[in-house]
A and B are shown apart, each in its own frame.
Chain A
Amino acid sequence: MRDPLNKTIVTIQPSGIRKFFDIVSEMKDAISLGVGEPDFDTPWHIRDEGIYSLEKGRTHYTSNAGLKELKIEIQRFQERRYGLAYDHRDQIMVTVGGSEAIDIAMRAMLDPGDEVLIPQPSYVSYLPCAVLAGGTPVVIELQEKNQFRLTAEEIETAVTPRTKLLVLPYPNNPTGAVMERSDLEKIVKVIIEHDLFVISDEIYSELTYLDGHVSIASLPGMWERTLVINGFSKSHAMTGWRLGYVCGPERIITQMLKIHQYAIMCAPTTSQYAAVAALRDGDEDVAAMRAEYDGRRRYLMHRFKEMGLSCFEPFGAFYVFPCIKEFGMTSEEFATQLLKAQKLAVVPGTAFGDCGEGFLRISYAYSLESLKKAMDRLEAFVKELRK
């Protein structure tokens, strides 16, 4: 029999946290801080709108790019929160989560051999999506000394004549790093100089604890070379609804829409109706969740300080990324032993790229109560190691 498989897909590794997942799910009384989604349920008024749409029989396809009402709300939201101007008619499309947007953006923009700059540690899908789209990923290893922010020099070093795209994953999963306006201003020059396009994954944009999020697309000269990816999963605790969107120049969106149309048809209709409510009346829900995350973030930073665990202060998403290099173990060893000794699950930094070695991703999408218990366990483990 012939090999039924595509030659590229077999080279792609499954996600590195699978192994931990198997152990944790077998273990009794384990506490996991490995979850990359909000602990809050979707606010009720949003769920209610979804239910109402079902009751009214809105169980059909929407247009490919998404419900007009929703696209209008997205246009308003991007304008009011980030000062970005997109026309709902041809510069916005609704996708199945931010994930789909990442995939089809790469597929619409890359030709074989085109290089994609991917700063790591970062979310696990950029690299495989780039490969599957025929591109060549080029990893930029972010530095803790820069608080895992991307610098112009790092781009300069990685760029070649074949470089076409830069993925800008901020606020960042797994580090919690953000790029402030001044950080963005410094990289814009290099981006324009090398005529790069940017996929700005802003899925955590509503969860920042310094000043508000700044989108690179709002800086001079960047709108026309940026795709802004966002969604409802993190901001409105809507992960299970699978709803995201992408905004950008019509020239790119039009082509992406073709892939979406043939592969997906349209994003889930119920979710789209719910999302209209999320954007119309959800700002207060988001603010309340943000305040809650911020308190937890401060609590974790305090506990790390108390136990003498080094960690740069992250100002975005709901992750902290402490350094465990002092213990002379790999991230995976540390995480495995922590799980065995204290029944506490965290994600090794290496799940998000080789340069995550020496770090752990700890999620604070958990109640303060759980975080307290978890930090007691971590502290006991660290003390034992230092003996």
Chain B
Amino acid sequence: MREKLLTFIEKNSRIDVRELAIVLGVDEAAVVRELEKMEEEHVICGYHTIIDWDKVGLEKVTAMIEVRVTPQRGMGFDKVAERIYNYPEVTSVYLISGGFDLMVTIEGKTLREVSQFVSDKLSTLDTVLSTKTNFILKKYKDHGTVIAEQRKDERIQMIP
């Protein structure tokens, strides 16, 4: 059930448990139990909302920063990553293969705020060798959801 359940709620986290049980054809109590268990085990790590902030008119700036670091003895990249992800401005941190080490996403209100974070907080860390800041100009798709378009059902309404 676990895999079926996760596949479904990955795209429909707001569905209520009763409906979820009906759709999956399993017992409601079992669904509740399994969800709780997965939250405890941190298989389910959170539930988020995908927002097109541009539509709200609120200024938001997002940057993806390529960071090269020196891994620390005995701890590899984890310690450095932790120092970075603890900042609330940081929305994601990934360890990356290729030309750099960490991909860090930062959200701020203004360009200046984001650049300041990079120059004051990120670049000054001992282990950080270099940073390259890429500002996001437009978000097309996020978490499997296309941001821009809202599709209408254009099918002919009665078809045998």
Contacts and interface: CB of A to CB of B under 8 A. Distances in A.
A295 B8 contact: yes
B12 to A, nearest CB: 8
A32 interface: yes
Nearest to B151: A41
B153 A39 contact: yes
Contacts of A298: 22-25
B157 A347 contact: no
A34 B159 contact: yes
Interface in B39-68: none
B153 A347 contact: no
B157 A352 contact: no
Contacts of B155: 35, 37, 39
Interface string B8-27: 10001001000100111100
Interface string A278-307: 000000000000010011101100100000
Interface in A42-74: none
Interface stretch (A17-25, A112-120, A253-261): A17-25
Interface in A121-163: 123-124
Interface in A77-91: none
B22 to A, nearest CB: 5
Nearest to A24: B157
B160 interface: yes
Interface string A1-37: 0000000000000010110110011000010101111
A229 interface: no
B160 A351 contact: yes
B160 A36 contact: yes
A343 to B, nearest CB: 12
Contacts of A15: 160
Nearest to A19: B158
Contacts of A20: 158
A187 interface: no
Contacts of A352: 160
A20 B12 CA distance: 33
Contacts of A295: 8, 23-25
Contacts of B153: 39, 366
B158 A24 contact: yes
Given A298-B23, A299-B23, A302-B22, A25 B160 contact: no
B145 to A, nearest CB: 14
A265 interface: no
A123 B160 contact: yes
Interface string A150-186: 0000000000000000000000011000000000000
A286 B23 CA distance: 18
B75 interface: no
A109 interface: no
Contacts of B8: 295
A35 B156 CA distance: 7
Contacts of B157: 21, 24-25, 30, 32, 34-35, 345
A309 interface: no
Given A35-B155, A39-B155, A299 B19 contact: yes
Which of B22, B23, B160 has the most A CB atoms < 10 Å from its CB? B160
Nearest to B25: A298
Interface in A176-203: none
A17 B23 contact: no
A222 interface: no
Contacts of B23: 295-296, 298-299, 368
B158 A17 contact: yes
A71 B32 CA distance: 48
A37 B159 contact: yes
B130 to A, nearest CB: 37
Contacts of A123: 160
A22 B159 CA distance: 12
Contacts of A30: 157
A173 B159 CA distance: 11
Contacts of A368: 12, 15, 19, 23
A34 B158 contact: yes
A241 B104 CA distance: 43
A378 B156 CA distance: 21
A35 B158 contact: yes
Contacts of A32: 157-158
Given A17-B158, A25-B157, A291-B4, 6 more contacts: A20-B158, A32-B158, A36-B160, A345-B157, A351-B160, A368-B23
Interface of A: 15, 17-18, 20-21, 24-25, 30, 32, 34-37, 39, 123-124, 173-174, 291, 294-296, 298-299, 302, 345, 347, 351-352, 366, 368, 372
19 contacts: A15-B160, A21-B156, A35-B155, A35-B157, A35-B158, A39-B155, A124-B160, A173-B160, A291-B7, A295-B23, A295-B25, A296-B23, A298-B23, A298-B25, A299-B19, A347-B158, A347-B160, A351-B160, A352-B160
